[in-house]
Each structure stands twice: as C-alpha cells, then as structure tokens.
Structure 1
Amino acid sequence: MKQEARTAAGAPATLWERTRQLATREILETALRLFTEQGYDETTVAQIAREAGVSQRTLFRYFGAKEDLLGGGQDRFGQVLTDTISEQPADVGVWEALRAGVAAVLALHDSREQALERFRLLHNTASLRAGYLEKRLRFQEDLLPLVEARMDTRAGSADPRARAVVATAFACLDAASMTWVASDGRGDIIDLYDECLAAVRG
C-alpha cells in the first residue's frame, strides 16, 4: 500500500513538499549510483545534476555540498541523533539512549543496500573520511550536555566520563560499520554495534 508523504512534523505534505521530496530522493539515488560505479572523487556535481534531470542550481538548493549527496548529509544524521537522545525518557540509561540515537540514524537509509554502499564509500574514500571525522567531533561536543545530564555529571566540569562515553559510542559505530563493509553486509549492523559495545563495557 502506498504511504502518504508527510512532513517532519507528521502533517500531510503539500504538493510542493511532495515534489521536493521526490526530487531529493531522485538526486540522492543518482548520486549514490554514480559514486558506486565511478568513485566519489571521479564523479562531478555537474554529472549528477545532468543524470538526475535537474540544474546544478537546483541541486545546490537541496544540498549544500557534494558530500551531502552521500545519504542526505552528515548534518541531518547529527540532528536526528541529538533529537532522538533528547526524546528518550529520563529513566533511560545513557548507553540505551545512545543506542536509540544510533538506531534512528541507521534507519534513515532507504534500504540495507543504500546503507552498505554509503558506509563502503565513507570508509574507502579519504576525502570523505576527513570531512566525516571533522563533523563527528562536532557531534560529540553537541552530545556532551545530553550525556552529562544522564550521568549526573556537572556540565563543563573536568569529569572526563561523559566525553569517554560519547567517544566510545562513536568508536563502536565505526567498528561495526567497518566490519559490516568487510563482510559485504553480512548480518545486521545494529547487532554488530551491540557486540562492540558489549566488548568495551565488559
């Protein structure tokens, strides 16, 4: 059954919003296909726009940079991660809240294949890794107040525990995604994340 398009707030999407959603999806699918076939660095924005049937101006109206074409942009993932953790009930532990955030980010992918190709490109493309690591450090800083609140750690204190917890969660996601890519997508990435987390927590 066809699902009605909706906005982020859950309201039925207008015609303009549905058109934007369809255009965005077409551009992302085209970009991922070309990145996979040719390589990220070898694919130009002009080529993606031409293949998707839009102008470069339109493409940049939807996506601010070429790297944002890989799965919708790291900023979007960071926002979903932060929002999901914030929405967890107060009695949910810090590790469980972080896991919920990771699961929500992974669920943003349209398919298992899309997620696998995205992680493969991310881990195998030096220019993408550099940008990802830079933004990841910013995400970690953004998450600190949320983690500190769940650990009863005073914000801005010299207590390193919250920072260590956030860094560990991201390290586990890295280890899980690298293992998943190396096995060509065998198993479930969230299960691998759980295994990594269990290993470091003892």
Structure 2
Amino acid sequence: MSRSDEKAGGLRAVARDAVRQRLADVAMDLFAEHGFETVTVEQIAERAGVSARTVHRYFPAKEDMVIGMLEANGGFVRDALLARPVDEPALLSLRAAYTALVRRGPHDESRDRTAMRLLSSTPSLRARNVEKHLVWAELLTPIVAERLDGDDTPLRASVLVETSLTAFQQSMIAWADDPTERPMAELIDIAFRDLVR
C-alpha cells in the first residue's frame, strides 16, 4: 500500500467518524425533543440531510445511536486500567480508569445527559446497556484477576469489576439529573466512596 493510499484511507476513516458523530448528534437532539420511542430513522435522516439507508449504514439499529458510541469507550477504560500501578487496590484503579474516561474530552454535556436519561428510562436501551456492561466486564476482569493475590481470583475479580461498573453506571445516572450540575468525576468519587474505605 502506498503512502497516498494510507492517507486516503485515513481521511476516509476521519470522514466516516465525522458523519457517524453528526448522525448521532442529530439523533440525540431529536430524542431529547420527542423521546426515543417516537423518533423514526426517517426523521433522523431528514434532519441530517441524508437518506434513511445512509443512517442504517452507520447505525444498524436506533439504539446504536445512543449505545454505539459508549461501547467503544471500553477499550479506553481497559487501557487506563492497564496504566494504573499493579499494586494499587483494584477498586481504586477501576475508579481512576472511569474518571480518566469522563475527563477525556471533548464532551457535549447536554447530549451526554440526554443519553444517560434515555439509558435509564428506555427498555430497549437498558437491554443494550447490559450488553455493553458485559463487554466491558470481559475486558476488565482478566486485568483485575491478574493483580489479585490468593485463591479464587476469577470470582473475586468478577465481583470487583461488576461492582465498579454498577457504581460507575449509577454515578452517570445521578449526574444526568443532578440539579447542581456537579462534575461527573465528583459523582464517581461519591459512588465509590463507601466501596474503597
């Protein structure tokens, strides 16, 4: 592959990501205005100025417009966890990995809050979020297990990761409806406070 082919491939990927983000943004705005269940793919396509077929090319299901962007964050959390000191307590390392994720920018807080509200109130999105939760657990549990001493490390690691994922999820739901609009990282610290004493 020539250097120009590599550059063209890189530009195509950037363009694809930009279109994907634009469609997700349009969808989130419509979901915020009208609710997830009532918005159609055709309405999203019309607002974005593309065909419904184009929307389906980027997002096979409407739920992917909310969850799809979140699923990709699992790799970032895994890498952030791997970067933590191996002798650090597992829950502290997991909390730090989630905090690194929410501090990574840029964020559109209005759309992020809408996404979290939708995740907690829409049955089909809750189901997809459970799937995302399982994918993240598969990425994180082996790392935690390698860092534990003693017996039954797979079970203990699974409990620690699942507990941390629940704490992270609950902190994000609380953040979406927090009337004082505290930073996400502060609510993660609160959610983990009693776990890491």
User: Which TM-score tier does this pair reach, normalised by the shorter chain?
Assistant: 0.7 to 0.9
- The list of structure 1 runs, each at least 4 consecutive aligned residues, that deviate by more than 4 angstroms after superposition, is 11-14
Distance 1:45 1:190 in 2: 34
Structure 2 residue 46 is matched with structure 1 residue 50: yes
Shift of 1:194: 0.8
How far 1:24 sits from its partner (Å)?
Answer: 2.0
Residue matched to 1:7:
none
Residue 165 of structure 1 is matched in structure 2 by: 160
Q: Which residue of 1 aligns with 2:90?
A: 94
1:1-202 alignment, distance < 5 Å:
14-70=10-66, 72-106=68-102, 107=104, 110-152=107-149, 157=152, 160-184=155-179, 186-202=181-197
In 1: Cα distance, 2:68 partner to 2:127 partner: 17
Tell me the CA shift for residue 109 of structure 1.
6.0
- Identical counterparts, % of pairs: 31
Matched residue count:
190
CA RMSD of aligned residues (A): 2.7
State the SS of the aligned residue for 1:66: coil
Q: How many Å apart are 1:184 and its aligned residue?
A: 3.8
Structure richer in helix, relative to its length? 2
SS of alignment partner, residue 144 of structure 2: helix
- CA distance 1:49–1:153, change in 2 (3 Å): farther
Bigger drift between 130-139 and 80-89 goes to 80-89
Q: Give, in whole Å, the separation in 2 of the partners of 1:166 and 1:19.
A: 35
In the alignment, is the contact (CA less than 8 A) between 1:143 and 1:166 conserved in 2? yes
- Which amino acid letter does the alignment assign opposite residue 51 of structure 1? R
Q: 1:18 to 1:95 in 2, by over 3 A?
A: same
Please list the CA deviations of residues 118-177 of structure 1 after superposition, one character each: whole Å capped at 9, or x if unmatched. 1111112122112212331332133210111122467xx465321121111112112212
Query: What is the TM-score of this pair, normalised by structure 1?
Result: 0.79
> What is the letter of the counterpart of residue 167 of structure 1?
E
Q: Which structure 1 segments of 5+ residues have no match?
A: 1-10
Considering Cα pairs closer than 8 Å and 6+ residues apart, tell me whether 1 or 2 has the greater RCO: 2
